[in-house]
Structure 1
Amino acid sequence: MAGKLGIGIITYNRKDILLETIQNIFRFTKVPFDFVVADDGSSDGTQKTLKEMRITCVTGDNRGIAWNRNRAIWYLKNERKCDNIIIFEDDCKPVEFGWEQQWIDALESFGHINYMPEITIEIDNDISSGSGTAVDPYIAPMHQALCVGYHAKALDYVGFLDVRFKKYGEEHVEHTHRFLRAGYGGLPQYLTPERGQVYYLRGGLSVMPSESHGDHEIASYNQRVHEEIKKDPIYRSPWRTDEQMFLFREEINSSLNRPSTNNDFEDKEFDSIISLGGDHRSSLFVESFFHKTGPDLFGQFVTPFHTLISLFETNFEHLLSTVCLYGYYDALRCRETLLIYHKNINNIAEPAERVGNFVSNIDDTRKNYHSLIEKMDSACDGSKKVLFVRDWRDSYLYAGSHRPEGSNTADFQRLIKAISARYPNLDFKVLFVNFGSSAKADPRMLFYNTDVPDICEVEREQEAWNQMFRNLNISCRIQD
């Protein structure tokens, strides 16, 4: 019995053609399937339209075909656990009911299969043998990517498209060569995989006229890249660096059905909005939207979630501890508390000098922090309504994103209890930003995931926070 089917489309600025392809996939596909669209940062309203249609879309900035095809493959293979994966380009569509059965049979037999349109047969006509069916596929040397099939077991050995390729050109060819080297999808020549013969299917699909996004200069660059990497190890991840991994993971996570807005609470107008930090920019985002809203205590340092709880539980006892201070990027970290101080070092380069400067100014810094704590206590005197805001990120300059699936779950309830113990008469809520699939277990909790990766321009992230506050309809009464 064949495994689970997944179908994806990769697209860029072809909304009208894309919609026709989507319609035909749902119209002509007989076998149940999982579905996703990978959009490479279109600017023609594609994402808005897909959202209105409730179609799952993995998207991000425009990064080229290799990156975008990896989005679709990863989603279907790793998130939806599909065995047989078929990826369409947006200008290729099914036109016969039950078209997918030949593809499923071919993937179960060969692990990798490509589509050969009738126009290619007419123009090139370099098929060496075969009839274009799953039992007897065409065998030909050329490489096309209008519709490509991958079996999950073959992907386990071959991996993803190489993201060293830019924009358009060679990325699918090189990927197919690796399938041949691994023994899938054709007749390999192991010393010269570029001369291998590839398996193709015909029929059941049609190609639509479309405007090319190709660029000769980029294509030439990609040819050089292909030549340089053609003997690299077969398996490739969909990223090359840690930063790319974080970015890719965030794009995938943003496509999943995580909670976004909880609009089921009534108290949307607050007397004060107080940042509890997370990322070092969290307080700035809050202040930018609401203006001067509360004491900026947590904008002075970065604190891990468990340390945040401890500060409230111990009356901020260990704040400004000088036990084992050391340089951390362009800040200082305390090994005892894991607090990271980034506003108290006066741009001093040498870690030892930073520590010395921090310690020599500790009295003035302590007075400043004590004043900010008093201001927070005054804002939370029990006669007001307060919204605390906590972002997931709690490492200085962390190149990460929303809380990854499988990471330790923050103790939200313990934080609620700690705040409540310090301010027993306070009417408050805590907005937790970008904590993934977490859901509220207390009416004082509110969760929201922004829809942009954290590795992006500050202005773009600020707008995502602004949109969050607008979506939640949060306002602040007092602006002094």
Structure 2
Amino acid sequence: MQFDEIISVGGNCDAAHHVRRYFKIEKSMPMDWLIVPFDALISMCNDNFRDFIRLDRLTLWNGTRHAIQCAKRGIVYQHDFPRDAEALVMIDDIAGVFADVKAKYARRIERLQDACRPGRSILFVRSWREILHTAPDYPDYCIRGVPDYQFAELLDALRHCFPETSFKVLFVNYGAQSIDDRQALFADVRNCGDITDWTGSKGGWDEIFARFDIRLSETAPVAKLSVAR
């Protein structure tokens, strides 16, 4: 399957990491480095990405300074605000840097909308992870269930947001869940024994991309895989 763009839509940074690594993509999209709950993604698409980030909605994640979160949608911003020597968010600096953060996401949203302009072919990649990583959960590959109707709702929201764009969504690590829709692909990452950190199994992600023969148009082919197809 060949696409003009391959774009991560969360839930965590691992999807963006492997999309960018495997397909040698350098440009950032809005949801690459965020934690994006499934229903938040649906809401943003239905709203055409309006109010993507607002100062009056920002709060501390679970009441701690480990991250900043959107009080309305639950989106977690891990990498956007200054941190102190203990890697805790410096809350006094949030308002001061917010204008730059908002401008950054405005650029990324514009980039997303341009990438998904009419007539183009897009693969959105959605991973099950919607959690703030901590060391004990690095090797955790439990399946997070999503109601079947939400998969259909997301596809409808993407059709609403990009009505003249051809797309598919690759849903990763949702176990036996699936829906009868040609625009939805489902696959689980096979643990190839190479998990060392939050990125999960490199070999497992490579196997998925190879299994579906996913390619970017007008680019050089990716490096030959050493994993079983």
Q: TM-score, normalised by structure 2?
A: 0.82
SS of residue matched to 1:393: coil
Cα displacement (A) at 1:366: 1.1
Distance 1:341 1:277 in 2: 12
Distance 2:97 2:219 in 1: 31
Cα displacement (A) at 1:402: 3.8
- Is 1:427 paired with 2:166? yes
* Segments ≥4 residues shifted beyond 6 Å: none
Alignment of 1:137-152 (within 5 A): none
- Is 1:409 paired with 2:142? no
Q: Which residue of 1 aligns with 2:90?
A: 354
- Is 1:461 paired with 2:218? no
Q: Which amino acid aligns with 2:81?
A: I
Distance 1:290 1:470 in 2: 11
Q: Which amino acid aligns with 2:214?
A: I
Equivalent residues of 2:14, 2:200 under 8 A apart: no
Distance 1:305 1:342 in 2: 17
Q: Which residue of 1 aligns with 2:113?
A: 377
Q: Which residue of 2 aligns with 1:7?
A: none
Equivalent residues of 2:190, 2:205 under 8 A apart: no
Cα displacement (A) at 1:324: 4.8
Equivalent residues of 1:403, 1:434 under 8 A apart: yes
SS of residue matched to 2:168: strand
Distance 1:280 1:331 in 2: 14
| Alignment RMSD | 2.5
Distance 2:93 2:181 in 1: 43
**Aligned length, in residue pairs:** 210
Cα displacement (A) at 1:453: 8.6
SS of residue matched to 1:343: coil
Distance 2:58 2:120 in 1: 39
Q: Which residue of 2 aligns with 1:6?
A: none
Q: Which residue of 2 aligns with 1:438?
A: 177
Q: Tell me: higher relative CO, structure 1 or 2? Use CA pairs within 8 A at least 6 residues apart.
A: 2
Corresponding residue to 1:477 among 187, 192, 217: 217
Distance 1:283 1:452 in 2: 18
Distance 1:454 1:318 in 2: 41
Cα displacement (A) at 1:361: 1.1
Distance 1:298 1:394 in 2: 12
Alignment of 1:133-172 (within 5 A): none
**1:296–1:339 distance in 2 versus 1, CA, 3 Å:** same
Q: Which amino acid aligns with 2:32?
A: G
Cα displacement (A) at 1:350: 7.2
Q: Which residue of 2 aligns with 1:179?
A: none
Cα displacement (A) at 1:455: 10
Q: Deviations over 1:54-91 (max 9, x none)?
A: xxxxxxxxxxxxxxxxxxxxxxxxxxxxxxxxxxxxxx
Cα displacement (A) at 1:331: 2.0
Alignment of 1:253-292 (within 5 A): 268-292=1-25
Distance 1:413 1:358 in 2: 36
Rg larger for = 1
- Is 1:320 paired with 2:53? yes
Distance 2:95 2:50 in 1: 17
Distance 2:126 2:165 in 1: 18
Identity of aligned residues (%): 23
Distance 1:294 1:442 in 2: 29
Structure 1: gaps (5+ residues): 1-267
**1:341–1:366 distance in 2 versus 1, CA, 3 Å:** same
Distance 1:470 1:325 in 2: 40
SS of residue matched to 1:469: helix
Q: Which residue of 2 aligns with 1:394?
A: 130
SS of residue matched to 2:31: helix
**1:402–1:269 distance in 2 versus 1, CA, 3 Å:** farther
Equivalent residues of 2:9, 2:126 under 8 A apart: yes
**1:332–1:460 distance in 2 versus 1, CA, 3 Å:** closer
Distance 2:193 2:58 in 1: 31
Structure 2: gaps (5+ residues): 221-229
Q: TM-score, normalised by structure 1?
A: 0.41
Q: Which amino acid aligns with 1:382?
A: P
Equivalent residues of 1:272, 1:293 under 8 A apart: no
Cα displacement (A) at 1:424: 0.7
Distance 1:444 1:463 in 2: 25
SS of residue matched to 2:118: coil
Q: Which amino acid aligns with 1:376?
A: L
Equivalent residues of 1:433, 1:448 under 8 A apart: yes
SS of residue matched to 2:167: strand
